[in-house]
Amino acid sequence: MSDETERADELSVTQMTVLSAMLAGKTQRKAAQEAGVAPETMTRWLAKDATFVAAWHSGRQEVWRKRKERLRDLADQALDAVSEILTDGEDDSVKLRAALAVMNLNDVGLGFEPGSTTAESVRRTWAPREQKRQGDDLIASFGMGEPIDRITERLLEAERKGRQA
């Protein structure tokens, strides 16, 4: 059984409806409305349901794969058209826009990182965040009242001031 089939078996029908809507380009609010859930429910799934997040990442990865495939299919036609504009066109501003479009297309999708696509790997990425929260809670329980980030920031500031003196 593939990871994708396994994930689909673990998701509720409502969650699959939400994912389908979001992958079709709907906003979270619109997807929630279509599925009959509160937007806060989706926020909770995205923050705490590793299986849901992994399925979301997997779906986004597939959407981007298909888009890149379509771009590759159009590349020859686009380059022929741009080549014609660059060689035969008389308007320099059109030539510049065409050249920039080609340069930009070379970067399409290169920065896309879909995130973890298995529930276990999503949980691993969440682990440091959870450990930090637990540490902040522990510090607060000792009556210090300040999260570790603020304490660290204050210590670094004191150290900087000490070096300047």
Closest CA to 63 of 30, 101, 109, 94: 109
Write out the residue range of the structural domain in which residue 67 sits. 3-117
> Are residues 82 and 142 located together in one domain of the fold?
no
> Are residues 107 and 150 located together in one domain of the fold?
no
The whole-number average pLDDT for the span 78-99 is: 75
**Pairwise CA distance, residues 43 & 52, whole Å:** 11
> Are residues 92 and 11 located together in one domain of the fold?
yes
> Are residues 10 and 78 located together in one domain of the fold?
yes
Say whether pLDDT at 93 is over 60.
yes
> Are residues 144 and 80 located together in one domain of the fold?
no
Q: Which residue has the higher pLDDT, 90 or 55?
A: 55
Q: Which residue has the higher pLDDT, 52 or 116?
A: 52
Supply the pLDDT for residue 6: 46
Supply the pLDDT for residue 108: 52
> Are residues 91 and 17 located together in one domain of the fold?
yes
Supply the pLDDT for residue 84: 79
Helices 92-105, 50-88: crossing angle, 10 deg rounding: 150
Say whether pLDDT at 60 is over 80.
yes
Q: Which of 56-65, 79-88, 92-101, 105-114 has the lowest mean pLDDT?
A: 105-114
> Are residues 88 and 11 located together in one domain of the fold?
yes
**Pairwise CA distance, residues 49 & 41, whole Å:** 11
The total of structural domains in the chain comes to 2
> Are residues 48 and 64 located together in one domain of the fold?
yes
Provide the whole-model pTM.
0.54
Q: Which residue has the higher pLDDT, 26 or 150?
A: 26
Supply the pLDDT for residue 126: 80
Q: What is the pLDDT of residues 127-143, one digit of tens each?
A: 887 777 777 766 666 65
> Are residues 20 and 73 located together in one domain of the fold?
yes
The single residue listed with the structure tokens 């741009």 is 82
> Are residues 130 and 96 located together in one domain of the fold?
no
Supply the pLDDT for residue 159: 76
Q: What is the pLDDT of residues 17-37, one digit of tens each?
A: 999 999 999 999 999 999 999
